[in-house]
Structure 1
Amino acid sequence: MAISVHRLSPVILRRAQWARDPQKHIISTKIGREIRKELNLGLSKNTPSKEVECCETQSSRDQYALCLPLLYRHVDISIHNAKGLFRSLHCDCMVDGRNPDRYLLPYEAEKLQFRQEAFIDAIIRTPSLGALVLSLTWTYQWYEEKGMKMDKTPQMMWTAFKLLDRVRSLDICSFNWELVRVVPPPLFPVATSIRIGGKMTYAFFRAMISSPETVVSLDLDNPQGFGQMRDGLDEEGEAPRPSSPENISFHQETEDSQQIPVLRHPGAMRGHLNPLIGRFIKLKHLSIRTVGQDDSASEYWSEPREKERYMEISNFLKSVRLTLTTLVFEQGNEAELDPRPRCRADPLEVGIQKGRPMDTYFLSYVLPALVEGPWPKLKMLFICGVGGRPREWQSRANVHFRDWEPEDPAILESAEDCLRIALNHEVQLSWEAEFRRPFYLQLWD
């Protein structure tokens, strides 16, 4: 005779039942091993030896059905949340775990690829498994170069992700090295918590945040965009972008009639928030982390583009001010400067630099939006990386250190005082000059 699942201990059975209830606590897959151990023990004690094989088969089926919600509820096939610093691909420096330039040892890349492809296969082979996934943490990578290509096509990945239609929590970071020409469909329609970062196409960003009306918590973790002429390929199969950032930087960035980005320069994303303005009707928690410009003469930054980017952040903040309870804004620069193509024709000639451009943009665009308000539900505002010092930089052609003067402390103090007065006295405000974690700027395609 087979051992009924009702013969499992009440503790084990209750944990398994919790896994089927999305309102219960997070359940560890360790419970699956506990169930297996108890089932085997029950079989050995209660089943004649000649019936053990038959009973094991039936009990395995029962165990499998019982454990499925435990095994698929929280899927984490990622590497981007690793703590510490790692070697860079492009230069002799260290980067943090969420930097797409992070070097992966061969066995690390192979292990990640194997696990992701196995998951994709399982979901496509048994679509009903997709409904069991409520939380997804995923490091996205795709290589089109020969010898570095994943066995599965991008379309298979999107097909599998399309079946994950009950995911509530999404943490995704793109480690892509190349612009993938398969445009993903809208995904994760009921996600309430989204964290997104890394280097990606603008279509990728839109696909991950396809239903902003359901989002309660949004973490924009320094998303970087590829340089692109437009999304995907046209009917003739022409290349979707010029061959290098130097070429594309001479073209003006464009949007379509719905403000969706079309032609885009590489680097910190711009224009990705405009189509979402007014659609985050339930947003309570917002975190915006972005790399910023600290060198006025840098050939890697465009002043007009940066002004437009900070203006976009300002407009987005205004659109969610009535519902937010917590807001984090952090800006910073790279710990090291790696060699990369420049994205504007000629660097500016400046004498003594005063302050940092990123602080000027914050004070000119973001601060007025914060002061203007109102913020009827805001409880906590954290500002980080405004008023700090620029890093020392060096060019590959020659080493140069220019004179730098800090921003007038009175200006920063006045800005903070003005913000404190504008906010409700119950709002907890924290303003720090230095950023807490290294940032990165991605211009390589």
Structure 2
Amino acid sequence: MAPILSPDILVLVFEHLSTHLDYVTLCNAGLASREWRSLSLPALPRHVDVSSHNNGRQREWEYPVYYPVVNAEDSWEYRQPNLIKRQRAFIRLLVEQPKLARHVHALAWTLIWQNIVGEVGPEEIERADEGLADLDRRTWDVFASPTNVRYLDLASLHTLKVPESEYVRQNPAVLFPGVTDLRLLGWTHRGLVRSIFSSIDATKLRSLRLDYLNDEGSLPDGRPMSDDTNDEHSPLHRHGSLGSRQSQIISPELQERQETGQAFIFPGPMWYPMHLLTTPTARPLSSLKHLQVKIPRVHHYTDTRLYETIFHATADLVSKASATLMTLVIVLGEHDNIYKPKGPGQCGTTHMRHVHEYVPFYVRSAAAFLGYVLRALDAHAYPRLETLTFKGFTIIEQASERDAAQANLDETWELIKSSRWYNKAGGFTKVPSVDHRRIYHGCDEYRQDLRGFGDTWETS
């Protein structure tokens, strides 16, 4: 058949196989002859999916009673055994044949940054984590080469110990300039986010999904902040009154000092992408049709300014895309314990802290976020908005009289009832969104040496 079909026809056939993700047939076709191999090879990397975060249910924690909803996890026993092998195979392919990079149009990738040799068992776990291999250190070179990628789904779920490697944060300044459909998930460093958003053309961005993004935090010298350092120095900012006149956001002046290494960046929900898209100098979002923002569940040990800032920044982003938005999805992760009464054997002190400290904080957070977004929706026309989805605000309906008074829910309910979007959304407080993801508080490292920073943390 090879001599009968013209090269143009064969290319169309191979592209069809690639579009339908029939890589088995595509690979077999490449084995038919040298001509077929040369013609089929460009179609092979057209749609690349070497990820572990889109596989549906995975065994995250071996406690199904407490963690019934399972999410993608970085640990070696929870992801496909061949994931890193497949990632390295793709890296090797583009290193050896860099011309193929221009044929990559869609890329789904889970950043792991961990060296797994073969399929390891429990008895081999101690020697499985061996740092980065030489091929792993070509990742950024390869990521910089596919300039025609239109669809990018990038997750950062790597282990808490490996990010000490400097290479993890040495990403190129320009990444994926052709992207029009973008999804980012997990916790990552600002340098990677900055490179992506400064490279893409915001006027051509059609779809944006920011799913449970967390800022890993960093010291002024660029080192990732450890959970121990965060725990010691962030209490100063843990007791803000969300949504009130006394609440605070990360000011432009503090943002500037963070960017120039004159301030600490505390771990928490990442507002940075919204900031990059809504600054006065940012390009208009003139093509953005689909926006999805999922915020990790709030945590009472996290700097409350981060929540206030991401709530405010999300509303700004919604406002900026008002002329073109067709679908809007807003999700706030909920703690499952807000639905659980005190169980037998549960510590009374823990239960009382939950009732009198944690739940009021969850109520204030949900009310503040919903208030920001509803004000943004009511301030503009949104002529093309067809689908509106809200999840994770059920605690507003369930709040006790005391919690409702503390959170000033009367004002929130006035916003809800007066909103012209209430019927289209099917109610803003009806759909739960229980989130079992671990709250990221910093990398797994003990007390860090902060000599030389003086009292910088106090002004951060």
Indicate the TM-score class for this superposition, using the shorter chain for normalisation: 0.7 to 0.9
**Which residue among 195, 200, 209 is the counterpart of 1:207?**
195
Equivalent position of 2:346 in the other structure = none
Which residue identity is paired with 1:324? L
**Which amino acid counterpart does residue 205 of structure 2 have in structure 1?**
V
CA distance in 1, matches of 2:359, 2:112: 42
| Cα shift at 1:26 | 4.1
Q: Give the corresponding residue for 2:35.
A: 62
Whole-Å separation in 2 of the counterparts to 1:26 and 1:6: 21
1:164 is aligned with what amino acid? P
Structure 2 residue 50 is the aligned partner of structure 1 residue 77: yes
Aligned residue runs from structure 1 range 40-439, under 5 A? 60-88=33-61, 93-94=66-67, 98-100=71-73, 103-105=75-77, 108=79, 110-143=81-114, 147-152=129-134, 155-178=137-160, 179=163, 180-181=165-166, 182-185=169-172, 186-209=174-197, 210-211=199-200, 212-230=202-220, 232=222, 239=223, 241=225, 244-249=229-234, 254-256=254-256, 263-277=264-278, 278-279=282-283, 280-293=285-298, 299-335=300-336, 350=357, 353=360, 356-388=363-395, 414-420=414-420, 431-436=428-433, 438-439=435-436
Render the CA deviation track for 1:102-133: whole Å, top value 9, x for unaligned. 54318x46521111112111111211011111
Q: In 2, distance between residues paired with 1:245 and 1:367?
A: 32
CA distance in 2, matches of 1:139, 1:28: 22
In the alignment, is the contact (CA less than 8 A) between 1:168 and 1:190 conserved in 2?
yes
Report the Cα offset of residue 93 of structure 1: 4.6
Give the CA deviation at 1:77: 0.6
User: Structure 2 vs 1, CA of residues 223 and 214 (structure 1 numbering), >3 Å: closer, same or farther?
Assistant: same
Report the secondary structure of 2:82's partner residue: helix
User: Structure 1, residues 48-77: CA drift from partner, whole Å, max 9, x if none?
Assistant: xxxxxxxxxxxx211112211331111111
Which of 29, 33, 36 is the equivalent residue of 1:35? 29
Larger Rg belongs to: 1
* Cα deviation, residue 195, structure 1: 0.8
SS in 2 for 1:218: strand
Amino acid at match of 1:139: T
Partner letter of residue 323 of structure 2? Answer: L
Q: Gapped runs of 5+ residues in structure 1?
A: 40-59, 233-238, 338-345, 392-402
Q: Provide, for residues 360-394 of structure 1, a one-character-per-residue CA deviation record: whole Å limited to 9, x for no partner.
A: 21243222111111212212211111233799xxx
User: Is 2:336–2:434's contact at 8 Å kept on the other side of the alignment?
Assistant: no
CA distance in 1, matches of 2:92, 2:331: 39
Listed as ranges, the gaps of 5+ residues in structure 2 are 116-125, 238-249, 339-352, 444-460
TM-score, structure 2 length as denominator? 0.70
Q: Which amino acid aligns with 1:282?
A: S
Q: Which amino acid aligns with 1:313?
A: T
Residues 90 and 265 of structure 1, relative CA distance in 2, 3 Å threshold: farther
The verdict on how the C-alpha distance between 1:299 and 1:429 changes in structure 2, with shifts beyond 3 A counting, is closer
1:201-251 deviation digits (Å, cap 9, x = unpaired): 11122233331333110000011111202474xxxxxx4546632245268
**Residue by residue, what CA displacement relative to the aligned partner does 1:385-439 show, whole Å, maximum 9, x if unpaired?**
1233799xxxxxxxxxxx9779899766543332226x9x9x6655353334525
Choose between structure 1 and 2 for higher RCO, CA contacts under 8 A separated by at least 6 residues. Answer: 2
The Cα shift of 1:352 comes to 8.4
Indicate the percent of aligned positions where both proteins have the same amino acid: 21
Do the aligned partners of residues 223 and 404 (structure 1) sit closer, same or farther apart at CA in structure 2, a change above 3 Å counting? same
SS at match of 1:94: coil
Change (3 A) 1:64 1:264: same
Cα distance in structure 1, aligned partners of 2:66 and 2:134: 33
Distance 1:143 1:96, change over 3 A: farther
Q: Do the aligned partners of 2:88 and 2:135 also contact (CA within 8 Å) in 1?
A: no
Following the alignment from structure 2 to structure 1, what is the Cα–Cα distance between the partners of residues 309 and 105? 37
Alignment partners' CA distance in 2, 1:361 and 1:33: 53
CA distance in 2, matches of 1:335, 1:313: 24
How far off its partner does 1:33 sit?
Answer: 5.1
Distance 1:377 1:231 in 2: 45
Between the two proteins, the alignment pairs up a number of residues equal to 384
SS of 1:300's equivalent in the other structure is coil
- Give 1:105's aligned amino acid: E
Q: Is the 8 A contact 1:98 1:173 kept in 2?
A: no
C-alpha deviation, 1:330, in angstroms? 0.9
Residue type at the aligned position of 2:234: S
Using structure 1 for the length normalisation, give the TM-score.
0.73
CA–CA distance in structure 2, aligned partners of residues 442 and 319 of structure 1: 29
Contact 1:388 1:433 (8 Å CA) reproduced: no
Match of 1:400 in 2: none
Shift of 1:9: 13
- Are the counterparts in 2 of residues 19 and 73 from structure 1 also a CA contact under 8 Å? no
Q: Which has the higher strand share?
A: 1
Distance 1:387 1:113 in 2: 39
Q: For the Cα contact (< 8 Å) 2:271–2:310, is it kept in 1?
A: yes
Q: Does the 8 A contact of 1:85 with 1:95 survive in 2?
A: no
